[in-house]
């Protein structure tokens, strides 16, 4: 029988009938690869022909023992997990190569081991001696973590079955090799099979597993997105190479809030927790500067202040640049369009650069007003007062829409020494002490309040 083959995108896992240069599901170029289809056997009889086993049903009120989470003591890590590690859960930790995944997870494994959880660290990339060297650097040589260097899935499952740890780390899922699957390690079918086997094994045996997945730019190796749907929790470890800050972000969590972040700093002795991220993201501000605005944001359950920076310059190009780091480019175009059509402030013929300081990435619409403020401040070369934070969502009509958790944002700003806020008029908040809130109903009013009458 001729072997069936399929074309799969190694970035998002979408399957295609034929090869194409670009995956139309995720937009990635050069990521579609041909692979042998997983089932190549003869078609099975229809399901009605042979009876299955009857499944036991239960109702929603059935009492289970409450979830017992285990905390490792690295508070930033525990919080991103939703308050600790849930037994028998599968967690995916994705991130660029070299960002610090192995470092973070070795630290977490050591911390769990010191709390009495049996922890095993399986590396498919490094030899035990290399991991020991890393442990030495991190000051963790005394931690009772067991190490293994292996890539054969069958061996790993047998070992885990014999050892019965509470916590196992597989670093990385792309190096694992299932010998019953006919394709190279790192291919979509190998990565999917390995992840499926490990997660079902984890559920059956009550082991919590962490799968490490490198985010890949190269189509030959499957990225972590192809297994996101199989696991309970998906965390991405991100940060700029040049910055020492690292952010662990929950993008999916069956046992806690998604969008929670943990902030770390990469030091010579591993990742250190940053318990007050606002102070860190704002640390380099001392005097007023045009184009710089402090946004009072919420990341997960925690308020975080970040600096938004904009630069506006005369363009020498026919179609001016719109460069964004840490925010959505589409949203920037929208804000520019609202400024132009509703407030008569044009950015035509000007290059616009927008940057979120500290390597942070923001997705909240509440940052709209702070972005508009930074753009206007850069365009007018007019600095906002250094004691003021800004937040609010902008609608297409130019009106400022209410946003959630205004109280928490203001509390965080007060804690860091800010004394005023520019915010939508519709927010509910009772200010205390000397904190002033300038409530505004639309973007035009905001511009007049801050910049006065301007010529467009």
Interacting residues with ligand TYD (CB under 6 A): 95, 97-103, 134, 137-138, 266, 268-270
Element (H, E) at 90: strand 90-95
- Residue among 149 and 437 whose Cβ is closer to Mg ion: 149
Among ligand TYD, Mg ion, none, the one that 95 touches (CB under a kind-dependent 5 to 8 A) is ligand TYD
Residue 433 interaction partner, one of ligand TYD, Mg ion, none, beta carbon < 5-8 Å per kind: none
CA distances from 130 to 27, 94, 97, 135 (A): 37, 21, 17, 9
| Separation of alpha carbons 154 and 423, rounded Å | 58
Site for Mg ion contains 102 (CB under 5 A)? yes
Residue 270 touches which of ligand TYD, Mg ion, none (CB < 5 to 8 A by kind)? ligand TYD
Element holding 169 (H helix, E strand): strand 167-171
Give min distance, CB of 270 to ligand TYD, in A: 4
Residue whose tokens read 């605005």 = 293
Stretch that binds Mg ion, among 95-103, 296-304, 368-376, 408-416 (CB under 5 A): 95-103
CB of 408 to Mg ion, least distance (A): 36
10 Å CB burial of residue 157 (0-12, 13-18, 19+) is middle
Residue pointed to by tokens 């591993």: 270
CB 239 within 8 A of CB 359: yes
- Whether 234 and 242 have beta carbons less than 8 Å apart is answered as no
Structure token pair of residue 304: 């975080």
* Listed ranges 21-29, 58-66, 96-104, 289-297: which one lies at the site for Mg ion (CB under 5 A): 96-104
Please, what is the minimum distance in Å from the beta carbon of residue 125 to ligand TYD? 8
Quote the least distance from Cβ 271 to ligand TYD, whole Å. 8
How would you write 223-284 as a 3-class SS string? CHHHHHHHCCEEEEEECCCCCCEEEEEEEEECCCCCCCEEEEEEECCEEEECCCHHHHHCCC
103 binds, among Mg ion, ligand TYD, none (CB under 5 to 8 A by kind): ligand TYD
Minimum distance of Mg ion from residue 125's CB (angstroms): 6
Find out whether 342 and 335 touch, Cβ atoms under 8 Å.
no
41 vs 268 by CB, closer to ligand TYD: 268
Q: Which residues contact 220 (CB under 8 A, 6 or more apart)?
A: 10, 33, 186
Site for Mg ion contains 355 (CB under 5 A) = no
Residue 85 contact, options ligand TYD, Mg ion, none, Cβ 5-8 Å cut-off depending on partner type: none
Q: Least distance to ligand TYD from the beta carbon of 135, Å?
A: 9
Q: How far is the CB of 103 from ligand TYD (least distance, A)?
A: 3
Told to check if 103 binds Mg ion by CB under 5 A, we report no
> Measured at CB, which residue is nearest to Mg ion?
102
Name the residues that contact Mg ion, by CB under 5 A.
102
């Amino acid at each position: 029988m001729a072997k069936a083959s399929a074309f799969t995108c190694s970035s998002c896992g979408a399957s295609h009938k034929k090869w194409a240069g670009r995956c139309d599901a995720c937009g990635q170029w050069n990521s579609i690869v041909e692979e042998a289809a997983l089932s190549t056997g003869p078609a099975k009889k229809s399901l009605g022909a042979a009876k299955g086993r009857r499944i036991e049903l239960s109702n929603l009120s059935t009492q289970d023992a409450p979830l017992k989470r285990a905390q490792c003591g690295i508070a930033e890590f525990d919080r991103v997990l939703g308050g600790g590690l849930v037994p028998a859960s599968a967690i995916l930790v994705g991130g660029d190569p070299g960002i610090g995944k192995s470092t973070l997870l070795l630290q977490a494994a050591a911390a769990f081991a010191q709390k009495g959880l049996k922890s095993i660290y399986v590396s498919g990339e490094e030899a035990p001696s290399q991991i020991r060297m890393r442990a030495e650097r991190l000051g963790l040589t005394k931690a009772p973590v067991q190490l293994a260097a292996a890539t054969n899935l069958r061996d790993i499952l047998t070992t885990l079955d014999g050892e019965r740890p509470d916590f196992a780390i597989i670093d990385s899922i792309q190096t694992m090799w299932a010998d019953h699957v006919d394709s190279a390690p790192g291919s979509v079918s190998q990565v999917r099979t390995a992840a499926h086997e490990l997660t079902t094994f984890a559920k059956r045996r009550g082991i919590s597993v962490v799968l490490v997945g490198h985010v890949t730019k190269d189509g030959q190796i499957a990225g972590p997105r192809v297994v996101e749907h199989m696991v309970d929790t998906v965390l991405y470890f991100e940060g700029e190479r040049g910055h020492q800050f690292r952010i662990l972000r929950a993008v999916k969590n069956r046992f806690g809030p998604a969008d929670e972040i943990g902030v770390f700093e990469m030091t010579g002795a591993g990742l250190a927790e940053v318990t007050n991220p606002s102070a860190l993201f704002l640390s380099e501000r001392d005097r007023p500067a045009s184009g710089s605005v402090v946004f009072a944001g919420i990341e997960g359950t925690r308020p975080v202040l970040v600096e938004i920076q904009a630069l506006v310059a005369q363009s020498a190009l026919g179609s001016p640049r719109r460069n964004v780091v840490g925010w959505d480019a589409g949203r920037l175009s929208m804000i520019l369009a609202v400024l132009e059509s509703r407030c008569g402030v044009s950015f035509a013929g000007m290059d616009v650069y927008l940057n979120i300081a500290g390597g942070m990435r923001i997705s909240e619409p509440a940052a709209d007003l702070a972005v508009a403020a930074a753009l206007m401040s850069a365009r007018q070369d007019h600095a906002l007062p250094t004691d003021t934070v800004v937040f609010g969502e902008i609608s297409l009509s130019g009106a400022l829409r209410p946003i959630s958790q205004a109280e928490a944002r203001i509390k965080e700003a007060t804690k860091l020494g800010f004394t005023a806020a520019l915010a939508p008029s519709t927010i509910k908040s009772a200010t205390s002490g000397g904190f002033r809130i300038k409530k505004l109903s639309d973007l035009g009013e905001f511009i007049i309040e801050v910049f006065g009458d301007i010529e467009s």
